[in-house]
Structure 1
Amino acid sequence: MDGQLMAFTGVAAGMVAMPGADFAVVVRNALDTRKAGVATAFGVAGGLLVHTALAVAGLAAVLVAVPVVFETVQLLGGAYLLYLGAGALIAVARHRSAATAPSAGARGEVPGPRPTVRLGTAQYLRQGFFTNALNPKAPVLFLSLLPQFVPAGQPALPRTLLLATIVVGMAAVWFPAVALLVDRLGVWLRRPRVSRALEATTGVLLTALGGVLLAELVLT
């Protein structure tokens, strides 16, 4: 493996593993079931595949060069993150209300695990995909990053395809591993208090990220 490829692998690993909206959505859905978390994880990898394919094809340059297209993606991305974040926070409020309901306390019942609305595998897959695919910063990142690791005099297309494959491959390993770890720790993580804290944290994170995207759109 040449030096540039080794350097890119390190950069890509840090980029994929960095906590953000993708990580938050995978963790939140893995609290429902292992299958939900893994499906979300592969959806995130699918979103990365879109971004890397656009960068390889040069279409990311069009996204960056045409402000209205970029702003539309930013608006959709911010709104979608707000939607997911608000859904998580509403769910936390409902679970807390259910746990402290007078009827339950009067009967001396111990609140059980948080109730969940189970979605189909395809819906979890879509959540992961859209969370990543609607990130407007990703095309800019890949457009600026990939060419830096193409050696002078080497054909660009095969090299960028290889780099894109490395990124997507890492995501296809890392995010399912996160989902499996969350499921492995499920006995502890699904305790009502811990589960609500995690869901509240992911809800705040997703809402904040969505708000930042929309604020940038308004301020620019």
Structure 2
Amino acid sequence: MTPSLLLSFVGLCILLSLTPGPDTFLVLRYSIADARPGIAAAMGSALGGMVWAVVVAAGVAALLEQSATAYRLLKVVGGIYLLYLGIRALIDLRKQRRAAAAEPADTPARPAAAASVRSAFAAGVISCLFNPKVGLFYLAVLPQFLSEVSFANTLALGAIESAIAAIEMVLVALLASRAVALLRRPVIRERLEQASAGILATLGIGTAASAA
């Protein structure tokens, strides 16, 4: 792997990380109440990316590329999972709204409940693992930047891409939680939660529908 190829690959990864995808919106959703779940989701997504890198390095992803049925199945499962996350977020938001309405009018507003770090991390892993585009991206792009294709070299590039994506998503988590903390307006926070949940549900429907 030459230095020029490595720098070119890093530049490509940085450009791609600036394009929001399902994992970015997932991190945004978990970051609204607290940065820690958002960071956990980012780490989970990065771990999922590393799993895909191992799969590609082992050559298993080539089977996925050749099997339309397996590719569609992964897309459907991943889309359903994103839809589930979006719907669950909207249901939780409705429960919080009902609980707030049942309290006396002079009761101080309570901050939105943050998701657990463990559940956010698991959501990040599952979301990435059921996104076959990650594996196909590695399969199509990584060999172009390798002077010698081997398990170690392919895995190294996968680790670099996962690290860059993780850094980008951690920054998203920190900025999102900071922005919400500065605004401190329940109405705005509620609208952000509705928007992020709606985006996740829409991405889930689109992903599952595109498999057809």
TM-score bracket relative to the smaller structure:
0.7 to 0.9
Report the Cα offset of residue 81 of structure 1.
Answer: 0.4
State the secondary structure of the residue aligned to 1:185: helix
Instruction: Give 1:122's match in structure 2, choosing from 118, 127, 131.
Output: 118
Residue 25 in 1 paired to residue 26 in 2?
A: yes
Residue 141 in 1 paired to residue 137 in 2?
A: yes
Report the Cα offset of residue 128 of structure 1.
Answer: 1.0
Contact 1:111 1:192 in 2 (8 A): no
Deviates more, 1:202-211 or 1:185-194: 185-194
| TM, length-normalised to structure 1 | 0.84
State the secondary structure of the residue aligned to 1:18: coil
Instruction: Give 1:132's match in structure 2, choosing from 108, 121, 128.
Output: 128
In structure 1, C-alpha distance between the alignment counterparts of 2:184 and 2:110, rounded to whole Å: 6
Residue 214 in 1 paired to residue 208 in 2?
A: yes
1:69 is aligned with what amino acid?
Answer: A
Residue 201 in 1 paired to residue 200 in 2?
A: no
Query: What is the aligned length?
Result: 211
1:82-132 superposed Cα distances (whole Å, 9 cap, x missing partner):
001111222333444455x3x65xx5437624542643x322210111111
Instruction: Give 1:165's match in structure 2, choosing from 159, 164, 169.
Output: 159
Counterpart in the other structure of 1:49? 50
1:170-196 superposed Cα distances (whole Å, 9 cap, x missing partner):
123222232222333342355311211
Contact 2:30 2:115 in 1 (8 A): no
State the secondary structure of the residue aligned to 1:112: coil
| TM, length-normalised to structure 2 | 0.87
Identity of aligned residues (%): 31
Counterpart in the other structure of 2:109? 112
In structure 2, C-alpha distance between the alignment counterparts of 1:24 and 1:54, rounded to whole Å: 25
Report the Cα offset of residue 4 of structure 1.
Answer: 2.1
Counterpart in the other structure of 2:186? 192
Counterpart in the other structure of 1:4? 5
Is there any run of 5+ residues in structure 1 with no aligned partner, and where?
Answer: none
1:194-213 superposed Cα distances (whole Å, 9 cap, x missing partner):
21111111111111111111
In structure 2, C-alpha distance between the alignment counterparts of 1:109 and 1:53, rounded to whole Å: 56
Say if 1:190 and 1:83 are closer, same or farther in 2 by CA, change over 3 A: farther
Contact 2:32 2:192 in 1 (8 A): no
Is there any run of 5+ residues in structure 2 with no aligned partner, and where?
Answer: none
